[in-house]
Amino acid sequence: MVDQSDISTQFKLTIPQEDEEERFEKHGNTYYWQRSPQQFLVTVKPNDEPSAKIYLEIIQELKRCKLQVLTDPVNAEKFGCTAFTKQKVDLAIVIGGDGSVLYAAALFPNKSPPIAVFNSGSMGFLAPFSPHLLHKEIKHLINGPLVITKRARLQAFVLKNKPKLCQTPFVENQAQTHSRQQSTMKQYVNQQQLPGNQPAVYQPPIGTKMYTCLNEVYISRGYSNFLTNLQCYMNKLYFGTIQADGLLISTPTGSTAYSLSAGGVPVQPNVEAILFTPICPHVMTSKQLILSDKVQLKVKVAKAARGTAVATFDGRGSLELFQGDSLVIQRCQYDLPTICLENEQMDFITALKRCLNWNVRVEQKQFGQKTVQKSKEIGDPDSDDVC
């Protein structure tokens, strides 16, 4: 069995979610309820009083509509609600910011219900819904239709070069087992056929650790004084060694997170791509690459590297990678469906403007004009933009 090392494992959840076809009738990215929703999961940013007030208001509204309400295991006891374990969920509501979305996504490493995010966080790039319109939006979520963005996620498999040393009488047997697993792992990587128009499918050996990420896999030098020395492969083919402070493998959703700070470009979340971004590389020509999401990437800490590396997954689960250790990274087969306020395009542009001030400036005056006009926003009724 693959070790799913994320929040769902911490709470030992096994979540048999329904297929979308059982819940919704789909027309493009617009979803209509096939049956009335019955059970909602509500998660909230911890230790935040404004978020807690919104949470209680949403709970009251859902119960008034005679819906069953669950909450995440962390907050269940605090708010006196039923904890989410194995129950099927029709829709999840997140109250918080982008970190709260990452937490909710980790509760569903496989199939996930649609997620609606109410913004009470610091930035809220992934949180289009306003708490000020809470009652209106809750009614819309219950009745539909819902416009959905399917956000790609990544899977990262950890290949250890050597077993950990254990003071037990079974060290030799464990080492032999690990050696056989590594041999099997090499066979998978070497034998796998990955045509360009087919998604990568990686079959890990038993016991392999696997992490699921919505934003990025981040490989850094950690506490080492030396640059990372990362040998990179695409569909079994070596294509370069990254000598830098680190490397980001990101989804389009993650393109506006750490990747953006590292000099990457924002990518609309429905674009089928994987972003490959070196961090502070020791060469001027090592720039970000936008790759097909059908490729399989392998990043290996070179055996000649001067120091180790550290991998983190959506900011969680730090793992030290020693010389010879590798990560195999590919697109996860399970996307994360998030609910749009308007549609995929407008939500993305609105978030860029609201959170990052993209293209926001005072409009240039006409010749002879004495007053400066207010900058027009996309969607203004008096906009001169031609669609």
Q: What is the 3-state secondary structure (H, E, C) of the chain?
A: CCEECCHHHHCCCCCCCCCHHHHEEEECCEEEECCCCCEEEEEECCCCHHHHHHHHHHHHHHHHCCCEEEECHHHHHHHCCEECCCCCCCEEEEEECHHHHHHHHHCCCCCCCCEEEEECCCCCCCCCECHHHHHHHHHHHHHCCEEEEEECCEEEEEECCCCCCCCCCCHHHHHHHHHHHHHHHHHHHHHCCCCCCCCCCCCCCCCCEEEEECCEEEEECCCCCCCEEEEEEECCEEEEEEEEEEEEEECCHHHHCHHHHCCCCCCCCCCCEEEEEEEEECCCCCCCEEEECCCCEEEEECCCCCCCEEEEECCEEEEEECCCCEEEEEECCCCEEEECCCCHHHHHHHHHHHHHCCCCCCCCCCCCCCCCCCCCCCCCCCCCCCC
Split at pLDDT 50, 70, 90, the class of 21 is: low
Q: Is the pLDDT of residue 174 over 50?
A: no
Question: What pLDDT, on a 0 to 100 scale, did the predictor assign at position 181?
Answer: 40
Q: Is the pLDDT of residue 172 over 60?
A: no
Question: What pLDDT, on a 0 to 100 scale, did the predictor assign at position 362?
Answer: 86
Question: What pLDDT, on a 0 to 100 scale, did the predictor assign at position 8?
Answer: 38
Instruction: For residue 322, count other CB atoms closer than 10 A to its CB.
Output: 15
Superfamily of domain 3-151: Probable inorganic polyphosphate/atp-NAD kinase; domain 1 (3.40.50.10330)
pTM (global) more than 0.75: yes
Alpha carbon separation from 102 to 233, 264, 318 (Å, rounded): 28, 20, 15
**Range in 185-194, 227-236, 325-334, 364-373 with the lowest mean pLDDT:** 185-194
Q: Is the pLDDT of residue 196 over 70?
A: no
Instruction: For residue 12, count other CB atoms closer than 10 A to its CB.
Output: 9
Q: Identify the residue with better confidence: 80 or 60.
A: 60
Question: What pLDDT, on a 0 to 100 scale, did the predictor assign at position 14?
Answer: 34
Cis status, amide bond into 73, omega within 30 of 0? no
Mean per-residue pLDDT, 274-300:
94
Split at pLDDT 50, 70, 90, the class of 36 is: confident
Share of the chain above pLDDT 90, in %: 42
Dist CA 302 CA 140 (whole Å): 53
Mean per-residue pLDDT, 86-106:
89
CATH topology of domain 154-331: Tumour Suppressor Smad4 (2.60.200)
Question: What pLDDT, on a 0 to 100 scale, did the predictor assign at position 205?
Answer: 59
Domains of the chain, residue spans: 3-151, 154-331
Q: Is the pLDDT of residue 299 over 90?
A: yes
Q: Is the pLDDT of residue 144 over 90?
A: no
Question: What pLDDT, on a 0 to 100 scale, did the predictor assign at position 216?
Answer: 95
Mean per-residue pLDDT, 283-300:
93
Split at pLDDT 50, 70, 90, the class of 80 is: confident
Q: Is the pLDDT of residue 302 over 70?
A: yes
**Range in 116-130, 138-152, 156-170, 272-286 with the lowest mean pLDDT:** 156-170
Dist CA 30 CA 32 (whole Å): 7
Question: What pLDDT, on a 0 to 100 scale, did the predictor assign at position 300?
Answer: 95
Question: What pLDDT, on a 0 to 100 scale, did the predictor assign at position 161?
Answer: 83
